[in-house]
Amino acid sequence: QTELPVDAALRARAGKVIPSGMYGHMNVTLMPAGFPQFYAEGKGNRLWDVDGNEYLDFMCSFGPMISGYANPVVDAAALAQQKRGDALGGPTARMVELAELMVDTVAHADWAMFAKNGTDATSLAVTIARAATGRKKLLKGGTAYHGANAWFNPNPLGSTPEDRANIIDFEFNDLASLEAAAAEAGGDAAAIILSPFRHDAPGSTDQYIVDPAFARGVRALADRIGAVLIMDEVRTGFRLHTGGAWEPLGIEPDLTAFSKAMANGYAISSVVGIDSLRQSAADIFATGSFWYAGAAMAAAIANIGLLTATDTPAQMNRVGQLLRDGLQSQAAAHGFTVFQSGPPAMPFLRFEDDDSLATAAAFTAAAVRRGVLLHPAHNWFLSTAHTEADVAWALERTDDAFAETRTLFG
């Protein structure tokens, strides 16, 4: 499994016609050696690279896959719409059906809009918040990722200082820092934007589950200063909770951005919002060539139907917990101290004293050579296609991967 000749040939060709051979988060030159760049197929929780190697995948396309690759129910719904047309003269009835479904599924949602990528949805939410408040500033969790536009892109190259002038950082789970950010905004805060738990990536930072007192404080502060509370559920949506992630805490944001897992890999995102922001959402000009296309909407309707038929977040968390428990005892048996954080359905594993991620890189490289796809610097993802038996299969291989990592690090 170390030889990837077809992959290497494709990389050589890509290097000539695609900038740096690959851009963005899927550029595997950012990864330890041994990870494939190009994939041929996915089915259930398995992936096959272009050289025919099979992987049990715990990355789920960085989130979009949630009901298994090539899910027959979702694919049939998308295909049925595609056969009748995808991008047509205007939207199909699927758009109204999906908007009704989002309003039924997410407690605070009184209306829904649709776009394609997560960045579309977070950008729309910010635009609506600014239109509604007539204010400029965004209070944002310092190292959180909300998209690759000029305001939010962690790499400033190609944007101007003016693009970012209206962003004020605060620390997740730290109300004092949010208060300070609000004070700095001085009455000009259009929105607070944050994710339901802290999941900075890439990096070696632990994930932080939200402190309920912080969540209540965020809501109260937004109300006090008249800022719109935007929840970025692009990564978490439908994995933590089938609805808004803070609903179990009794807290509702004003706008929520969804995308990745909505349609099990079909391109769609959504902004949902409360009644009082409906007019501002109507007043801005928002559109995209592919935003009205029916196939992804049909896929989303089918997928959300699957995800809400049973308590799928509980199932993903239960299976994810088995993986977490297994890895924890294996790491200890091989003499490693590891810290696992975040919800079990979106796990992250960090080795002690591994800021350079060298140990994580060695471990995940050893795992991928054994057919288990993990990531050294980004949270992993469970899906409803991952079972207890799959976790047992993975753990047989990660045990060897820890052993190999131990031999490397003495």
Interface residue list for ligand PMP (CB under 6 A): 117-119, 122, 145-147, 195, 232, 234-235, 259
- Write down the least CB distance from residue 198 to ligand PMP, Å: 10
Separation of alpha carbons 118 and 139, rounded Å: 19
Strand-pair category, 269-273 with 255-258: antiparallel
- Nearer to ligand PMP (CB atom), residue 53 or residue 119: 119
- Minimum CB distance to ligand PMP, residue 20 (Å): 18
CB of 45 or CB of 259, closer to ligand PMP: 259
Candidates 292, 300, 257, 267; CA nearest to 128 is: 257
At its nearest, how many Å lie between ligand PMP and the CB of residue 332?
31
Query: Of 118 and 376, which CB lies nearer to ligand PMP in the complex structure?
Result: 118
> What are the residues facing 47 on neighbouring strands?
42, 55
Closest to ligand PMP by CB, 147 vs 294, is: 147
Closest residue to ligand PMP: CB criterion: 118
Q: Are 20 and 27 in contact (CB under 8 A)?
A: yes
Cβ closer to ligand PMP: 67 or 259? 259
Q: Please provide the size of the chain in residues.
A: 410
Q: Note whether 263 and 104 are within 8 A (CB).
A: no
* CA dihedral sign, ordered 322, 327, 332, 338: negative
Phi, psi (deg, nearest 5) at residue 48: -125, 130
SS (H, E, C) 214-252: HHHHHHHHHHHHCCEEEEEECCCCCCCCCCCCCHHHCCC
Quote the least distance from Cβ 208 to ligand PMP, whole Å. 14
What minimum distance in Å lies between the beta carbon of 199 and ligand PMP? 7
Comparison of 259 and 280: residue with beta carbon closer to ligand PMP? 259
Rg (CA), the chain: 21
Closest approach, Cβ 235 to ligand PMP, in A, equals: 4
